[in-house]
Structure 1
Amino acid sequence: MAPAIFASPLPLCVCLLLASGFAEAGKLLVVPMDGSHWFTMRSVVEKLHHRGHEVVLLVPEVSWHLHTSLNCTVKTYPTSYTLEDLNREFMIFSNSHWKTRESGGFSFFMNPLSDVFKYIFSHCRSLFNDTKLVEYLKDSAFDAVFLDPFDMCGFIIAKYFSLPSVVFSRGSFCHYFEEGTQCPSPTSYVPRGLSRFPDVMTFKDRVWNYIALLMEHLFCHRFFKYALEIASEVLQTPVTAYDLHSPVSIWLLRNDFVLEYPKPVMPNMVFIGGINCLPGKPLTKVSNLSFSILKKTGLGHKNAETNNKNKIELLT
């Protein structure tokens, strides 16, 4: 039988793990998501390793970008699919949604689940079939699991080994985010992710926002059904999405609170907006030379209109 749900208060080790230089280094198990999700997480993983934390990256043998070189320990495990299978199913999925893009955002809910997501979810079963890797993870005494919530495997690993989890995400397009964090999100005031409604909704907008939430429940249950079957198989007990989301210790949200809809947040939600942006360029410096040139040219004896024109020409 798998270990019980980790329900203790926020562990001190997680706070120390994410704190800066003065904290003692910790041991972190990273369960990433392939594709564009990894590009952002990678920068954080590199920074954690640079600060002295021991980082172990857990990746499947077949992936698009996860095998890019990193200066940390990488543990791989075999998968039941090839890279050709993954590419083929992704192209089928992508082409089908390009054909139906005119139907609006809700068309995504109506399409059948692509096999590409079944491949993404199935790698977690392959991980737990690797008995040597499971024993290694059990004996390594990690302090926390750093995960991307999309493929659910990080949740399963954290629950199986009774480890605190730190979620790194832009948010969730499903209602499990609000339910798992017990964060209020009334449909009369907070628009759903794909609704495109403003923060001040009319009565008609609120009705459609509630319908969008109902469609979310139908879609999300179907979308994550295969992943929950794997979770129930690994944990040897029936598992719901709420069971996996609710024990999360910290939610690191890659967005800015001021850019979001006004809504309540919970104490374990940390906004880290700006991490998806390029570093800002320094402002152009204005030297005293420009002003000295203006004085020597005698521009003060001309009228104001000519003055402004010549200043612009000199400065450009």
Structure 2
Amino acid sequence: MQYLRESKFDVVFTDPIMMCGPIIAEYLSVPSVYFLRGFPCGMDSEATQCPNPPSYVPRLFLNNSDSMTFAQRVKNMLVHMLEFIYCKPVFAQFEELAYKIFQKKMTSTDLLSRGSVWLMRYDFVFEFPRPVMPNMVFIGGINCDQKKRLIQIISYPGKPKSLSDMRI
């Protein structure tokens, strides 16, 4: 940590899931840029103060769309309430670490809320619509594989030999 402080970094670029990056950024008093796919328990929405009503925004892993039936909305609300129970123990160890370093009680959401820019690794078009804050930037496609060659089409007179020979 002493080496990091002496190096005088301008910013911490991190995936905040393990919370070490946000703790280091807070310790060094530098801005942090988060690079992530999503955060469990809606903590990204809570930390950035995005509106996240369970009746509108589907919870992760439920496969609901933003147009939910009443039964889906009830299930979505129950999962939202359960998230407080199963997410708290996951991040408790990081809250303890933050307390040891800063000598004050900080929740994981407090640490995450100090993020300057959130680079979201998904495309807004392919996800359910939801409100986001101006510091949340969608950078979809960053995890895509290298494109592969198109397959050969069986050729006969008048037909192109491959898909890449086709003109549209």
Q: What does 1:47-196 align with in structure 2 at a 5 Å threshold? A: 134-196=1-63
* Paired residues of 1:187 and 1:210 also in contact (CA < 8 A): yes
Q: Secondary structure at the match of 2:95?
A: helix
Q: Does 1:268 align with 2:135?
A: yes
The alpha-carbon deviation at position 136 of structure 1 amounts to 1.3
SS in 1 for 2:45: helix
Tell whether 2:158 aligns with 1:311.
Answer: yes
- Deviation per CA, 1:115-151: give whole Å up to 9, x if none: xxxxxxxxxxxxxxxxxxx221111111000111111
Q: Which residue of 2 aligns with 1:227?
A: 94
The 2-side partners of 1:255 and 1:137 are apart by 31
Q: Is 1:203 the equivalent of 2:70?
A: yes
Q: CA deviation at 1:199?
A: 2.1
Amino acid at match of 2:66: D
CA–CA distance in 2 between the matches of 1:216 and 1:283?
44
Separation (CA, whole Å) in 2 of partners of 1:223 and 1:195 = 20
Higher relative helix content: 1
Q: Deviations over 1:20-62 (max 9, x none)?
A: xxxxxxxxxxxxxxxxxxxxxxxxxxxxxxxxxxxxxxxxxxx
**Unmatched 5+ stretches in structure 2:** 163-168
Residue pair 2:34, 2:117 contacting (<8 A) in 1 also? yes
Q: Could you tell me which amino acid in structure 2 is paired with residue 162 of structure 1?
A: S
Amino acid at match of 2:68: M
Percent identical pairs in the alignment equals: 49
Q: Which amino acid aligns with 1:270?
A: V
Conservation of the 8 A alpha-carbon contact between 2:94 and 2:108: no
Q: Give the unaligned 5+ runs of structure 1.
A: 1-133, 285-308
Query: Is the 1:155–1:245 contact (alpha carbons within 8 Å) kept by the matching residues of 2?
Result: yes
Q: Which has the larger radius of gyration?
A: 1
CA distance in 1, matches of 2:103, 2:47: 21
Aligned mates of 2:43, 2:118 — CA distance in 1: 13
CA distance in 2, matches of 1:282, 1:225: 47
By relative contact order (CA 8 Å, sep 6+), the higher-ranking structure is 2
Q: What letter is aligned with 1:138? A: R
Q: Which amino acid aligns with 1:249?
A: S
- Asked whether 1:259 is paired with 2:106, we answer no
Q: State the alpha-carbon separation in 2 of the partners of residues 233 and 214 from structure 1.
A: 29
Are the aligned partners of 1:175 and 1:217 in contact in 2 as well (CA < 8 Å)?
no
Q: Which amino acid aligns with 2:27?
A: Y
1:238 aligns with 105
Residue by residue over 1:263-288, the C-alpha shift from the partner in whole angstroms, topping out at 9 and shown as x without a partner, is: 1111001111111101335779xxxx
Give the number of equivalent residue pairs. Answer: 159
